[in-house]
Amino acid sequence: MVAMARTSGQAANRFTVVSGIRASARPPARPKPAPSAEIGPLAAIASLASFAPGATILMEGDAADHLFRIVSGVVKVHRTLADGRCQITGFLFPGDFIGLAPEDVYLSSAVAVGPVTTSRFPRKKVEQLVEVSPLVARLLLRRTCSELIAAQDQMLLLGRKTASEKVASFLRLIAQRLQDEDITLPMTRVDIADYLGLTIETVSRTLTLMRADGVIQVDRAHIRIMRGAELDALAECA
């Protein structure tokens, strides 16, 4: 499961986790593929909404008045226990929808991680559109399906993976979703821990170990990932 410490030179630089927000001294990162195709008739009822880092976009229990779609930035969705224990059920990226609820109230809270811009759609009008436009219905269904799949992956992770596997899976997810050469992770250790069902100490220790094994590289407070050839090294990192 280990036995590969200090294979430097070869292992190093596969995956670079740098920290610090200033994103300089790196190739400018290829432009992302358009976050998603068309939203069809939805465009007609959209308004823009922006959120500062840490701002709450919507809160568990509030009336579900709007549906949001992320234009830029990253959003965390979380659920909280009475005593404060928190589980982030997902990170959402540009193109993802926030606020789909089968009832009249939101069932999770959504918080901006870093600055976020969204399209906002009045729920009532969305429901009308679903009645009329198969395109919209299919779009929402497809998105919800994908989120369900992701949720199931996350359940496997939470229930059956070790701390190292959890962190490795997380890094791979981020690398997939933010397809740049050079990525700044805006989330803190607290977010990562709450996403993986770990404590911040365990996350920190695990990252330290990975760095020692040469699988990743870490710098400052926040995290930047430089994608190497194969992320798969992380998979075997067990």
Partner DNA sequence: CGAGTTTTTGAGGTGAGTCAACGCGTGTGG
Partner DNA sequence: CCACACGCGTTGACTCACCTCAAAAACTCG
102 binds its own copies per the rule CB under 8 A: yes
Q: Which x/- pattern over 136-175 shows residues binding DNA (rule: CB under 7 A)?
A: --------------------------xxx-----------
φ and ψ of 174, to 5 deg: -60, -45
For DNA, the closer of residues 36 and 199 by Cβ is 199
Structure tokens at 59: 């809160």
Among 6, 30, 32, 142, binds its own copies (CB under 8 A): 142
Shortest Cβ distance from residue 205 to DNA (Å)?
A: 5
200 binds its own copies per the rule CB under 8 A: no
Shortest Cβ distance from residue 58 to its own copies (Å)?
A: 14
For residue 2, the partner it binds in DNA, its own copies, none, with Cβ less than 5 to 8 A by kind, is none
> Is 86 in a helix, a strand, or coil?
strand
Shortest Cβ distance from residue 80 to its own copies (Å)?
A: 8
189 binds DNA per the rule CB under 7 A: yes
Residue for token pair 């959120």: 51
Contact stretch for DNA (CB under 7 A) within 98-106, 142-150, 174-182, 199-207: 199-207
> How do strand 86-92 and strand 66-80 relate by DSSP bridges?
antiparallel
183 binds DNA per the rule CB under 7 A: no
Instruction: Provide long-range contacts, Cβ within 8 A and 24+ apart, for 188-196.
Output: 188/222, 191/76, 191/88, 191/113, 192/167, 194/78, 194/86, 194/87, 194/88, 195/76, 195/87, 195/88, 195/91, 195/170, 196/157, 196/158, 196/163, 196/166, 196/167, 196/170
111 binds DNA per the rule CB under 7 A: no
Shortest Cβ distance from residue 63 to its own copies (Å)?
A: 16
Return the closest-CA partner of residue 62 out of 98, 106, 28.
106
Q: Residues interacting with DNA, by CB under 7 A?
A: 19-22, 162-164, 188-190, 197-205, 207-208, 218-222
